Each structure stands twice: as C-alpha cells, then as structure tokens.
Chain A
Amino acid sequence: MSSALATTPAALAPAQLKNETAIELIDMNKWYGEFHVLRDINLTVKRGERVVVCGPSGSGKSTMIRCINRLEEHQKGRIIVDGTELTNDLKKIDEIRREVGMVFQHFNLFPHLTILENCTLAPIWVKKLPKKDAEEIAMHYLRRVKIPEQANKYPGQLSGGQQQRVAIARSLCMSPKIMLFDEPTSALDPEMVKEVLDTMVSLAMEGMTMICVTHEMGFARQVANRVIFMDAGQIVEMNTPDEFFKNPQHERTKLFLSQILH
C-alpha cells in the first residue's frame, strides 16, 4: 500500500504544526445503556495535526470520532472543538458541525440529488451562500478530487471510489477546519482504495487537521503525526508512526499489528 502513496515525507514534517489546540477530549466517557463504550478518553489534537486511529472492531474508534461532531452524545467529561465546548446547546452543536467535516464509510451521499447538488446543499442552506458562488466552490473541489466531469450525474451512477471522493469534496465545500474520516476506504473495492487515499494525502499535505479511523497502515506511516491504538473503549497506546510500528509497547498492540501487517 505504501508504494501507492509515493509522497515525500518531508512535506509532512511536524514543523507545520502550530501550537494551537484544535480538538480536546478530557476524561470523556460514553455508555450505550449499561455498556461502557468509551472510558476516560484523553486526547489533544493540535491544529494541522494528523492523527490515525486504529484498533479492533468494537473498540470504540468510530464512536469516539462521532462524539466530536455530536453524532453520538457523550455522558461524562468534556469535548472542546475549536475552542467551543460541546454541550446540549443546539446552536453550539450546529456551529461545530459547520467547522468539522466528516467522511463516512458508506459515503452517505444523497441519492436524489446530483453530485453538484450534493456539494452545494449545505453551503447554500447552512452558510447562506448564493447558488452561483456555491456552485463555483463545488466545482473547484470537484476538480481537486478529479471528477468535475461527473457533476451532473447522480451518486448511483458513480463507482464507490468516485462516490467517496465526492463525499470528501462535499465536506470540503463547507471549508471545514477539521476533517474526520470514519473508515473511508473500508467499503471500497481494493482497486479504488488508492484514489481515495491519494485525495486524503493531498489534503493532509495542505495542512488540514485530520482524524482518520482507518486500517490503511501505509497511509498511517506516510501522513500521520501520531497513531492511536484503541481497545475495549480505551486509548491503549499513542505514538509517532515510526515508534508505533517499530516498538509497540503493549502486548495488545503487538498482537493487533502482527495480525494486520503480514
């Protein structure tokens, strides 16, 4: 996989990081009924930082990043996104969702709208941009993900990889400060994984703050500033990619890595 992503690591030097906090999770806990999904999560993400989250299924990775834009509600602890704390205040939730883009495993494009309409929906209705401006921005990002010629088709007419790239463009149209990726390549055919990862790499190189839940270890090695390993609702290990892959500290991490890197 790493050979597919031949980008110079130098472009991704941590020197780009500014010393501002983008996301802060403090002692965050979440329960589904009786089930304790997330336990005492503490995580600080700096502006421009790229964090990859991995771990076995059911470990709470997706739940954690879904808490950051309040698709899931946390019950204890604090979540501060871009200086705003997430509470039940609907206004603040909307504010944060405007700043935080999210890309899903199953794309979640709107099948009744064209690609262009998918991309302009939120800018027009949430940001109140004039239709013409929103379309210009949408075409700009569709060119960036290399599918401007599909603008007037419907999502069902596109391949999985193309759909996921549209989903990325759709998020970018809101000019988010932070992007969350929830297993963006897991539902794709193998030969389409590369085109989506390439898009994500180029996004990372522009300094976008990103949290990616993914099992693409090549991607983690190449762009991440930090890799987080989660198990049973806890952050087990957190390290730079080099250290993480060379010297995993915990038994659980070693076992996990031995199973996915072969």
Chain B
Amino acid sequence: MTTADASSFPTPPRVDAGPAYVSRTTLAPSPPPYSVVGPVAWMREHLFTGPVNIALTIIIGLLLAWIIPPFLRFAIFDAVWSGANRDVCIYTPERTAVGACWAFIWDRAAYFTYGSYPVAERWRVNVFFALLAIGVVWLLNLKAPRRDLGGVYFFVVLPILSYILLVGAPWLGLRNVETNLWGGILVTIVCSAVGIVVSLPLGILLALGRRSTMPAAKLISVIFIEFVRGVPLITVLFMASVMLPLFVPDYLQPDKLLRALVGIALFAAAYMAEVVRAGLQALPRGQYEGAMAMGLSYWQMMTLVVLPQALKITIPNIVNTYIGLFKDTTLVVIVGIFDFLKTIEAARIDPTWGAPTVSATGYLYAAIFYFICCYLMSSYARGVEARLARADKR
C-alpha cells in the first residue's frame, strides 16, 4: 500500500514496509462474475427477473412460435414468385399448398405505383419521385450542405416542377394528364406531401392566432380549429367534393383531386395548430419577456426566439400527426380517387388474378408499404429527439 492509492482518504505515509503478508501493489480488478456480463446475464436481467417476467417471457415465446412459422410459410416458403395470371396461384392436384401470390404483386406493380397514368408518360412520375427524394434527404439530413437552399428547393422549386411534370405543360411538350388517371402510390404520396407541407405553416399561423390578443384573429382561429376538429375527415372530403360543386358554377369547378388535397391540408392544419399551441404554451413566459424587453417585434420574437424552441419540443407530436395524416389519405377513396389502397382493392377483384390468396397478398403488400413509410418517419423523429436530448444536457 502506498499513499498514492486510489483511496480518497488521506492516510499517513507508511514509514516501515510492513509485514511480509501485506501487498505492496494495488491488485488488478477481478473479472466480473459470469452472472453480471454476457448473454446469460443479459437474459437474466431482461427476460427472467421475477416470476411475472418469467411467465410473460414464456407466454410471448409460445405466441411467437405459434405465429411466425405459419407466417413464414405463407409469405416465403409456399409463396408463388412468378407467373402471368391466376393459373400459377390456384390449387391444383400437384400444388396443394399455396402461399402469398407475389406474382400478382409483381404483375400489377406498375398499376399500384402509377394508377392509370398513361404508360408513355410514367417516366414523369419517376422523375417526380426522384426530385421528391432529393428534397426530402436534403432537408432532413442535418449535415447536408446549404440546407437553406434545400428549403427553397423543397418549398418553392419542387412544387412548381412537380406540377409541371405531373399535370403537364403542353408548351414544353408534356401533354396534359387528367388527375382522374392518377392513382396508386403516386396519389398517396401527393396527398400526404401536400398535407405535410401545407399543414405545418398553416397550423403555426392558426396556433399563433389562437393565442393572439387580437379578438378577430383569435375568433377566426378558434372557430376554424374547433369546426374542423369537430367533424371526421370523411365529412371534410365529402364537403369538398360533393357540396362545393353545388355552390360554385361549373366553369369555376376546381379539379377533384385538388379539392381533396385542400380538404386534407385544412384538416391536418387544424390538428397541427393544437400540437404547435401545446409547444407555445410549454415555453416559460420569461422567454417571451426577454425577447420583448429587448425590443423585438412580435414576428421577430416568434420566428427568432419562440418558434425555434416550441417546434423543437413538439417534434414527436408533429411527426405523430404526420403519420396519422399519411394513413388518413386512404380515405380519399370515398370521393372516388384511386389511392394506393384502392388500386390494390381494384386489382384483387380483377378476374385475371382471381385466386384464393391474391387478396391476402395484396393487403400484406399494402401493410408492408405503409409500415415502412411510417416506420421511417418515426425513426427519423426518434433520431432528432435523441439529438435534441443531447443538446439539452449540455
């Protein structure tokens, strides 16, 4: 033992070397026992702590054993991977077990993606998907260069380019494509992108209006939010596509898809307004006062001090609203628009592919598509949250 030992207690220096049985050096730490590290320890700690957890682990294990093998049999082992029509997916004396009919998905994939968009013009949709992907990555990747330009691209350039590409511009040699030919993933993406992009700024304005001291702004915001939140999305869509034409002369009739887009965007904005309002209320009053005392105007205070902080704390809720909105777009089918789910619905009753497992396969494909999209959104939000949590600790 020396006085330079790790011990924090001040011990008087030893003069004599001590008896022979006293160690003169610090012992190396012993390796942890088997029960503290390694997979066994992990299982003990996470799966088998106490009788309740042991019972739960066993029950869940049995449940998984019961569900997973049949699912794998259906989705992979017994699945039919290629073929041109129903013949490959029906039961025959030789083929008694038929799993997922992936041949059907493969055969109709273009229809699920583009709807009835003219085949010769589908490259335009592909370009749109690519442009959108560039915008999303540019804007959401926090390390991307020139994200301010990314914002201009996403909110100004992209909408204009998309409109020209998808709707058509005869003066550029792109022929017009009526929106009633649009369908599939294209429509789902357009509906949610418009809803997502429009609902946030509009929701912020409504939230500010609702907390405003100006009676007119407050009243309008409250009425709008409460009215829109008070009716189901289906009602809003019905109003937009059935009621509106009754009041507006024929030549002013907006396009059917456009009406649905406006309906979705307004609906999402009302929910977004309440999400943003929660964030505004969570900020301490001192932040407002600090900004006001320095002479910042209302809009400077909001854009420079309040909203950056309020939006940060509401990111999980904003993404939650986006995920809800993304799935709600399936409701446009009610006004006769062929979104992704509706194209599957239409294809599965087509007699060309009339086979026992076709419907299930179609729905499985839809579930996978929606799951991947929503999961990406929520993982991104989790990443951002983790980053902000680190920033808060500093």
Complex interface bits, B282-300 against A, C-beta within 8 A gives 1, otherwise 0: 0010110111111111001
* Interface contacts beyond A125-B304, A170-B294: sample of 8 additional A-B pairs, CB < 8 Å, sorted by A: A71-B289, A110-B291, A112-B309, A112-B312, A121-B305, A126-B295, A156-B393, A171-B294
Contact A108 B287 (CB under 8 A): yes
Closest chain-A Cβ to B61's Cβ sits at a distance in Å of 45
Q: Interface residues, chain A, CB within 8 Å of chain B?
A: 69, 71, 94, 97-98, 100-102, 104, 106-112, 121-122, 125-126, 154, 156-157, 170-171, 174
Residues of B within 8 A of A94 (CB): 295, 297
Contact B290 A109 (CB under 8 A): yes
What are 16 sample pairs from A and B whose C-beta atoms fall under 8 A apart? A69-B293, A71-B292, A71-B293, A97-B292, A97-B293, A97-B295, A100-B293, A106-B286, A112-B309, A122-B296, A125-B300, A125-B304, A126-B295, A126-B300, A156-B394, A157-B394
Indicate if B308 sits at the interface (CB-CB under 8 A).
Answer: yes
Q: Interface residues, chain B, CB within 8 Å of chain A?
A: 284, 286-287, 289-297, 300, 304-305, 308-309, 312, 391-394
Contact status of A121 and B289, CB under 8 A, knowing A98-B295, A112-B309, A112-B312: no
Query: Which of A106, A121, A156, A157 interacts with B294 by CB under 8 Å?
Result: A121
For the complex, what is the distance from the CA of A107 to the CA of B293, rounded to whole Å? Answer: 12
Residues of A within 8 A of B391 (CB): 154
For the complex, what is the distance from the CA of A71 to the CA of B284, rounded to whole Å? Answer: 15
Contact A108 B296 (CB under 8 A): no
Contact status of A110 and B287, CB under 8 A, knowing A94-B295, A94-B297, A125-B304: yes
Residues of B within 8 A of A122 (CB): 294-296
For the complex, what is the distance from the CA of A110 to the CA of B290, rounded to whole Å? Answer: 8
Prevailing SS type, chain B contact patch: helix
Residues of A within 8 A of B305 (CB): 110, 121
Closest chain-A Cβ to B50's Cβ sits at a distance in Å of 39
Closest chain-A Cβ to B283's Cβ sits at a distance in Å of 10
Contact A174 B286 (CB under 8 A): no
Residue pairs across A and B with CB atoms within 8 Å: the count is 62
For the complex, what is the distance from the CA of A100 to the CA of B294, rounded to whole Å? Answer: 8
Closest chain-A Cβ to B312's Cβ sits at a distance in Å of 7
Q: Tell which of B295, B391, B393 has the most Cβ of chain A within 10 Å.
A: B295
Contact A111 B289 (CB under 8 A): no
Closest chain-A Cβ to B142's Cβ sits at a distance in Å of 14
Contact B295 A174 (CB under 8 A): yes
For the complex, what is the distance from the CA of A154 to the CA of B304, rounded to whole Å? Answer: 16
For the complex, what is the distance from the CA of A106 to the CA of B294, rounded to whole Å? Answer: 15
For the complex, what is the distance from the CA of A112 to the CA of B392, rounded to whole Å? Answer: 9
Smallest CB gap from A94: residue in B: B295
Smallest CB gap from B301: residue in A: A125
Residues of A within 8 A of B287 (CB): 108, 110
Residues of A within 8 A of B309 (CB): 110-112
Contact A112 B294 (CB under 8 A): no
Contact B290 A104 (CB under 8 A): yes
Contact B295 A108 (CB under 8 A): no
For the complex, what is the distance from the CA of A258 to the CA of B258, rounded to whole Å? Answer: 75
Residues of A within 8 A of B304 (CB): 121, 125
For the complex, what is the distance from the CA of A98 to the CA of B291, rounded to whole Å? Answer: 11
Contact A154 B394 (CB under 8 A): yes
For the complex, what is the distance from the CA of A110 to the CA of B294, rounded to whole Å? Answer: 12
For the complex, what is the distance from the CA of A100 to the CA of B287, rounded to whole Å? Answer: 17
Smallest CB gap from B391: residue in A: A154
For the complex, what is the distance from the CA of A71 to the CA of B300, rounded to whole Å? Answer: 17
Residues of A within 8 A of B300 (CB): 125-126
Closest chain-B Cβ to A213's Cβ sits at a distance in Å of 14
Contact A174 B289 (CB under 8 A): no
Contact B286 A108 (CB under 8 A): yes
Smallest CB gap from A104: residue in B: B286
For the complex, what is the distance from the CA of A32 to the CA of B294, rounded to whole Å? Answer: 24
Contact A174 B294 (CB under 8 A): yes
For the complex, what is the distance from the CA of A104 to the CA of B284, rounded to whole Å? Answer: 13
Contact A102 B394 (CB under 8 A): no
